[in-house]
Structure 1
């Protein structure tokens, strides 16, 4: 590995909780086994999704968004980061990238009455979605920090939420074992229950590939399910995990899906051919997964460290574990529970259970 990740700074602001991160993808990314040369990458330079102090993080570096090679717009706020937390709030951050203070809270978004478990930013950087244990979703206007829509319909905690690539559809997953498809007006258009998960729905994601419009979900029933977006019917059951699944992530081109959870194994799935490709062993419970937007890396947040897998080599090439200050004999080291890449692929944001987001920068090895 000619490059390594170095801790560059931290962000602190939430009062309580775990931190979760995610970011917008890169449509020109190609699977390593389908290209013998390194392709030219197109980046979305809108903030990645990021949640601090607890729940989920969405970050966007906003100097314009590229979708399938076309610039769709210029976000209004450069260097914006969004975080969500167990303290029931979301925070909009302004990134300074200063090592002493990597960013500062710009605005707090309040409205949920329970833990905020997930958040995501629209591709134009104007809106955010949040999911909460109060059984609702909220759509936020980021310029004002106000709730524009409240989504009611789930009968248990909402664990995951995602925007479609065109921002017109929303999908959510819940402990009520259902997946719901919504429009942006707050209307539930379809509830997926037939052939659905038999346990909690832990994660839901839209594929960014317009040629294969699907939703991918994971559950505590040890299954990864792929749904046809047009019909909301089950396309594929991916079977192989031996423990509950916490997370799924989709590659920037929509060709691959990775899943991970209790069994400590990351499984790679081909979404175009509906088959299992191979597995990577993380040796510990996996909380979060994210593909790099411009390298053939898959990053796994585990109970003990962050592991960087090289998809060409199909092996671990780096492991990230910051130094923690021990507090008491029985204290547990904070765990990374969320990951998000910056759009240029140079910074990996990691949310931890000590309410801190840590920023890791890509550096060339000496």
Structure 2
């Protein structure tokens, strides 16, 4: 795509406060997918593949910081909130199936590939593992050992990821990222730490990455973007960008570009994955772009902003479909 071409985004309204997290579902058999948005207004929303509103999950009493969708048909959504709870929702009916109470703000949630266990982390600095087949049972704690009284990190846990893939290597491994500038890998069978990686700058985002680039993590820290391989837990690629990114996402099918939000402005930037050079600059938001993500088919990317909107950016702006017709 030429840098001279401009992508006019679709604006998805409905939220009344900053949008802080976005999660696309997996690609469905009919070529569609859905998008879950988390917002400080406390009302996570589900949209279809064209950005049209499907429904709002009502029940949280505080800001929703994170939301994840189950694999396959995305029949479940999990959300973590400032109301000291994590909730599991039926995405077809909108019904809240389970509420898991915590002692402090829940900043991030994750769900495993079999859709029967969830992981939470937040201000308590603890990682809790819940069994959806036994929702009334006490959660397991993933602990670092020593005399830390059940803590997984020394700082607030900002993001958790449940790796997915073939075999026990992926299905039993979860990852956490915290304000202590550490990413830690954990085994859900032993509840113990497997490995960790230390960063020099505060980590602003950590998301699961899939597709042509392989199963891994996309991490932003300072002005750096890291791509970490899930199996080896080694940095596969790193770019230092001119602007500090708030989050980043790799194109899932081409694996030739990445999209970033910014901690300083509302601009969305696309960089060449091989060289790290800027390819496109998209303006439209009226506040910092907190989160970005490519759709599973790579046709578009979504950005969520301080201005309370979600904007959808076409990868190929001349393609006409849906509301772009």
TM-score interval (norm. to shorter): 0.7 to 0.9
Counterpart selection for 2:311 from 331, 336, 358: 358
CA distance in 1: counterparts of 2:37 and 2:229, whole angstroms: 30
Counterpart selection for 1:86 from 40, 46, 49: 40
Counterpart selection for 2:183 from 224, 235, 238: 224
CA distance in 2: counterparts of 1:285 and 1:156, whole angstroms: 29
Instruction: Give 1:306's aligned residue.
Output: 268
Instruction: Give 1:172's aligned residue.
Output: 120
Q: Is the 8 A contact 1:92 1:106 kept in 2?
A: yes
RCO higher in 1 or 2 (8 Å CA, sep ≥ 6)?
1
Shift of 1:227: 1.5
Q: Is the 8 A contact 1:265 1:283 kept in 2?
A: no
Per-residue CA shift, 1:178-214, capped at 9, x if unaligned?
A: 1111122434542123253110111011112234222
CA distance in 1: counterparts of 2:19 and 2:206, whole angstroms: 18
CA gap of 1:138–1:344, structure 2 versus 1, over 3 A, is: same
CA distance in 1: counterparts of 2:163 and 2:250, whole angstroms: 13
Q: Is the 8 A contact 2:241 2:276 kept in 1?
A: no
RMSD: 2.6
CA gap of 1:346–1:5, structure 2 versus 1, over 3 A, is: farther
Shift of 1:94: 4.3
Q: Is the 8 A contact 1:20 1:352 kept in 2?
A: no
SS in 2 for 1:7: coil
SS in 2 for 1:119: strand
Counterpart selection for 1:247 from 205, 209, 230: 205
2:136 paired with 1:194: no
CA gap of 1:257–1:106, structure 2 versus 1, over 3 A, is: closer
CA distance in 2: counterparts of 1:289 and 1:180, whole angstroms: 26
Q: Is the 8 A contact 1:92 1:107 kept in 2?
A: yes
Q: Please state which structure has a larger fraction of its residues in strand.
A: 1
Shift of 1:137: 0.5
Unaligned segments of structure 1, at least 5 residues? 25-43, 47-61, 65-77, 325-332
2:24 paired with 1:63: no
CA distance in 2: counterparts of 1:350 and 1:340, whole angstroms: 7
Normalised by the length of structure 1, the TM-score is 0.74
CA gap of 1:255–1:344, structure 2 versus 1, over 3 A, is: closer
Shift of 1:286: 2.9
SS in 1 for 2:225: strand
Shift of 1:10: 0.9
Q: Is the 8 A contact 1:135 1:158 kept in 2?
A: yes
CA gap of 1:167–1:5, structure 2 versus 1, over 3 A, is: farther
Per-residue CA shift, 1:199-258, capped at 9, x if unaligned?
A: 01110111122342221211111111111233232111112x222212112321664322
Instruction: Give 1:72's aligned residue.
Output: none
CA distance in 2: counterparts of 1:292 and 1:113, whole angstroms: 35
CA distance in 2: counterparts of 1:361 and 1:220, whole angstroms: 34
Q: Is the 8 A contact 2:65 2:81 kept in 1?
A: yes
Counterpart selection for 1:341 from 294, 309, 321: 294
2:71 paired with 1:117: no
Counterpart selection for 1:275 from 220, 228, 234: 234
